[in-house]
Structure 1
Amino acid sequence: MKKHTLSGLLALSVLVGCSSSDEIVPDIPPSELYSEAQVSLQSGNWLSAIDKLEALDSRYPFGAYSEQVQLDLIYAYYKNDDLALGLATIERFSRLNPTHEKLDWVLYMRGLTHMAQDRNFMHDLFNVDRSDRDPEPVKKAFADFKKLLERYPNSPYAEDAQKRMISLKNRLADYDLATADFYLRREAWIAAINRAQELQKTYPDTEAALRSLKIQLEAYQELGLEDAVKHTQQLIDLNDI
């Protein structure tokens, strides 16, 4: 029974990521097709919206709806977890429209899309700790939101971007903590100390930075560095860890 359940979940996870459907988009006027795409978007029917928007984009690449179609595709791809397509569309739009009034939103969506790349359906489902996963998409998302704040400080998306940067910073700090712990368990004492200290320097205001002190303490103890042990213990006591 468990095997069938897991197989079903795996099949579902594959289906969720599919962007194309069997729907044949009729050859109708662009205004009518765009209206139908908007209905699909508003109802959350992402596959249908994507089919119609992609048809518009390919049939009328320089039409009256061209720019808005690409913006809608960015959103629909994100909602449907077609993240690679979303990023490709973002890059294309940014390259072709370097002064567009909605570039702050496009940059915000790039950050959200990179954040989404750090998600994993099965990990979320089974509540798996992902702190030791490669944080490259997180670094990109952090850079996107930072750029948004620098370029468009008055953007309506700036406040949310700033909040997300806090979460991303904690994710990056947790990764460094997991790495330091990995070195500790492998008895690579110097590597554990170096990673712990780098974490404390880069993300000093995170919970992970405080927790890394205990890894640092154990590594110093193993190396027999009494002065360093004493100093680290003082930091632990001072922060009531």
Structure 2
Amino acid sequence: MIGMAVNPAMEPNLNEPAHEPQTSEPSRAPQGRVTRMLLRWLMRPARVAGIKTLSPHFRLVELEGEALRNVAWAAGDKIQVAMGSGLSARTYTPMWWDAGNGRTRLLAFAHGEGPGSRWASSLREGDSCQFFGPRRSLDLADLQAPIVLFGDETSFGLAAALRDSLQAGGALHLSEAADIAESRLVLDSIGLGHARLMARSADDTHLATAESELLRLAANGAQFVLTGKASSIQRVGRALKAAGVASSRIRAKAYWATGKTGLD
């Protein structure tokens, strides 16, 4: 960890939605002295050790560096990667972390025209970046199988992390997606071919199917991790609670919301 206590008020500003690519953008403008000092205090340096393009919108990005060694990480934790020349950042969920060798892996979803998407599309092996974390985003430590993850394209990295965590072995994954064929290709590539996908409809009628499936699983004692689009989480969460599912069986984290920025 960085060798000083960090004041939460000094954390990087999150001014973009987390469904942008899980990477940062190299600085193109000179950084001020104060900004450089804060980045040294708050951020860890890393190098892009490898990139694999899985589809037109998804890339696997592996980071490495001494600052990634001997780091405590658990499935559900997040990192915040610096964007541009200031202190703005985007928040991403690592799929995996090798603290012994100083490596971690992210799944970058390049969606939209933001700077993060442009960076992910142009990312090359050997590029450098800076990040803050890892730190807690979703506390999944006390969840026991069977676990059901509901989400979307922004949740695929978390799904991979859950798959590899001991307490979540055999977790079920139910995701809404804009492009079923592309999402299926990506999930197959990262070993999640068993995940169930639903085509996202403009009027959200597909969520009735999601509610029905989640309620069926709830009757079998499942515990739930709800992620992705804020409005979808709210709807299926209400359905679960209305059916008597205790709050202790539900974890929720919105990664993005239509028309809003800053979610992490």
The TM-score normalised by the length of structure 1 is 0.26
Q: Say which structure, 1 or 2, has more relative contact order (CA 8 Å, 6+ apart).
A: 2
Structure number with higher strand proportion? 2
What TM-score, normalized by structure 2, do the two folds share?
0.24
More helix by share: 1
